[in-house]
Amino acid sequence: MAEKIYIFDTTLRDGEQSPGASMNLEEKIQIAEILEDMKVDIIEAGFPIASKGDFESVSEISKKIKNSTIAGLARAKLEDIDTAWEAVKHANSPKIHTFIATSPLHMKYKLKKTPSEVLEAIKVTVSHARNLCPNVEWSCEDAGRSEIEFLFKCIDLAISCGASTINVPDTVGYTLPNEFGNIFKQIKNNVPNIDKAILSTHTHNDLGLAVANSISAIQEGARQVECTINGLGERAGNAALEEIVMALKVKKDLMPFYTDIKTESITRASRLVSSITGFSVQPNKAIVGANAFAHEAGIHQDGMLKHSGTYEIMTPESIGLTQSSLVLGKHSGKNAFNKKLNELGYELGDNALMEVFGRFKDLADKKKEIFDEDIIALVGDQTTRIDDYIKFVSLKVNAGSFQKHEADLILEIDGNKKNSVASGNGPVDATFNSIKEITDVNAKLKLYQVHAITAGTDAQGEVTVRLEENEITSQAKGSDPDIIVASARAYINALNKLLIKRTKSAPDKISEVKVKGV
């Protein structure tokens, strides 16, 4: 009999800890809704004590989502646990996830606690969490580098204090698959009360082994996997949900497990997370990369024509990648456009639809052929931005080898139109200077990247911009057939995100803590 593997998605918590990946409340709700629709078992909605914004998003998601368990993260501190409970208590199925580091390195240098003090903290905090919430998960941070006998003791104690899930993280992505699997095997064999809890795996990708380590943990007894869409997460990221789910599905003959995930929603979820965070998916990324189902070599194409199984181990349809039948052009109306969006997996509200449709019409005037990729880029650039504080209105630039580079820009800031003319070292520099003049935000430009979305000289350019201000980073994309306009849009999108992050990190009643590097 195949056994169920519970999917615990942490895109909204560990995923959001990626440098530059910030999401506002509306965006987080959109992601939570898609995760619920995919039948994710547990959604870790955030770290409620981290900021007022985090608290608000965890509590709003708890109220809105009905079919998935909602978890809130808490350090081993009573105030963290109380705040996490306040945020998740509205959920149909709430969960408190509390953690403390158990490796010698973390205990000595980060926590400045002895092993017995850590044991005492586990006792106090897990019992406290269990008094508030029937569903408590406890994590031994940096388990991959912890002493195994000490781990046994901590896990036994956490279970006896009421934890019903024990999460074993490879926090720094240090272990090898057999090494990590062996930790689970030993826990299963040596912790007397382990049958009273579900074992969970949480891996990071520093050595590119996050998914392999999670699979190995499942083979040795883990029944919950913590993962993120597109493998988003701290540093090199977390294990990718889509890779784990599809590996279990494709290799079910060798692994007697299943998940409840509706795999046909994977593409839609991947695109949404990419457009919201501004993190592009690399073309050769497993499952959701643009080339994951592309066949270039003649010998492969020939095989595919004869039998798709020759070079495909899963169908594109199984991850929701369908060949769209509608071809759009400048005469297409709103209904046809909306139908196309639905085929591509998007459902937009009326306001967002009108905004994106307007941009589609502009694009269709400039470009002969509109590809699916163009529409995906427009949605990514626009969907979540209708309430933006700073909006792009128009741009005129002087460029070329003989001219002075000058940008004449109009932005709308909080409803008021503002204009600036600035010069610079090239048209992009001039444009960014005029944005700085209008907005008076002098963030450092940490990344500027341009790529063509499709083939052809009339292709849209997609620009990625990452900004940094006082250790806060934000990243966003912008697209347009004119790459200078695309650059302006990307910069403005990143600025809007920076403003949200600024308010989120402002000290307030809920939080005086700094949460970087959890």
What are the residues binding Zn ion (CB under 5 A)?
14
Of ligand KIV, Zn ion, none, which one sits near residue 135, judging by CB under 5 to 8 A according to partner kind?
Answer: none
Tokens of 133: 């919430």
Of residues 98, 139, 433, 473, which one binds ligand KIV by CB under 6 A? Answer: 139
Of residues 14, 54, 355, 388, which one binds ligand KIV by CB under 6 A? Answer: 14
Q: Which stretch binds ligand KIV (CB under 6 A): 62-70, 166-174, 258-266, 471-479?
A: 166-174
What is residue 203's three-state secondary structure?
A: strand
By the rule CB under 6 A, 176 interacts with ligand KIV? no
How far apart, in whole angstroms, are the C-alpha atoms of residue 167 and residue 164? 10
Shortest spacing between CB 212 and Zn ion, in angstroms: 17
CB distance 72 to 45 below 8 Å: yes
Of ligand KIV, Zn ion, none, which one sits near residue 487, judging by CB under 5 to 8 A according to partner kind?
Answer: none
Chain position carrying tokens 């200078």: 484
Tokens of 212: 């392999």
Please say which residue, 14 or 142, places its beta carbon nearer to Zn ion: 14
By the rule CB under 6 A, 137 interacts with ligand KIV? no
Q: Which stretch binds ligand KIV (CB under 6 A): 119-127, 167-175, 442-450, 468-476?
A: 167-175
Of residues 48, 94, 169, 424, which one binds ligand KIV by CB under 6 A? Answer: 169
Size of the site for ligand KIV (CB under 6 A): 10
∠ CA 274-83-53 to the nearest 5 degrees? Answer: 40
How far apart, in whole angstroms, are the C-alpha atoms of residue 40 and residue 12? 13
∠ CA 187-116-72 to the nearest 5 degrees? Answer: 65
Binding mask 94-123 for ligand KIV (x = CB under 6 A): -----x------------------------
CB distance 241 to 210 below 8 Å: no
CA proximity to 443, closest of 506, 497, 498: 498
CB distance 18 to 468 below 8 Å: no
Please say which residue, 240 or 453, places its beta carbon nearer to ligand KIV: 240
By the rule CB under 6 A, 36 interacts with ligand KIV? no
By the rule CB under 6 A, 214 interacts with ligand KIV? no
Q: Which residues contact 385 (CB under 8 A, 6 or more apart)?
A: 493, 496
What is residue 373's three-state secondary structure?
A: helix
By the rule CB under 6 A, 320 interacts with ligand KIV? no
Of residues 11, 59, 69, 171, which one binds ligand KIV by CB under 6 A? Answer: 171
Q: Which stretch binds ligand KIV (CB under 6 A): 49-57, 165-173, 176-184, 450-458?
A: 165-173
DSSP 16-27: GGSTT----HHH
Please say which residue, 243 or 373, places its beta carbon nearer to Zn ion: 243
Q: How many CB atoms lie within 10 A of CB 254?
A: 7
CB distance 246 to 314 below 8 Å: yes
Shortest spacing between CB 59 and Zn ion, in angstroms: 22
∠ CA 404-405-406 to the nearest 5 degrees? Answer: 110
Please say which residue, 204 or 367, places its beta carbon nearer to ligand KIV: 204
Helix 427-439 vs helix 483-505: crossing angle, to nearest 10: 30
How far apart, in whole angstroms, are the C-alpha atoms of residue 320 and residue 311? 18
Q: Kind and range of the H or E element at 393?
A: strand 390-398
Shortest spacing between CB 202 and ligand KIV, in angstroms: 5
By the rule CB under 6 A, 279 interacts with ligand KIV? no
Please state the φ and ψ torsions of residue 137, each to the nearest 5 degrees: -110, 135
Q: Which stretch binds ligand KIV (CB under 6 A): 81-89, 151-159, 163-171, 177-185?
A: 163-171
Shortest spacing between CB 101 and ligand KIV, in angstroms: 8
Shortest spacing between CB 264 and Zn ion, in angstroms: 28
Which residue number is nearest to Zn ion in terms of Cβ? 14
Please say which residue, 125 or 382, places its beta carbon nearer to ligand KIV: 125
Shortest spacing between CB 14 and ligand KIV, in angstroms: 5
Q: Binding to ligand KIV (CB under 6 A): which residues in 181-210?
A: 202, 204
Q: Which amino acid is at 139?
A: S
Of Zn ion, ligand KIV, none, which one sits near residue 85, judging by CB under 5 to 8 A according to partner kind?
Answer: none
CB distance 134 to 100 below 8 Å: no
CB distance 94 to 130 below 8 Å: no
Q: Which amino acid is at 464?
A: T
Of Zn ion, ligand KIV, none, which one sits near residue 382, judging by CB under 5 to 8 A according to partner kind?
Answer: none
Shortest spacing between CB 151 and ligand KIV, in angstroms: 13
What is residue 391's three-state secondary structure?
A: strand
Please say which residue, 168 or 247, places its beta carbon nearer to Zn ion: 168
How far apart, in whole angstroms, are the C-alpha atoms of residue 36 and residue 91? 13
Please say which residue, 73 or 281, places its beta carbon nearer to Zn ion: 73
- Where does this chain bind ligand KIV (CB under 6 A)? 14, 99, 139, 141, 167, 169, 171, 202, 204, 518
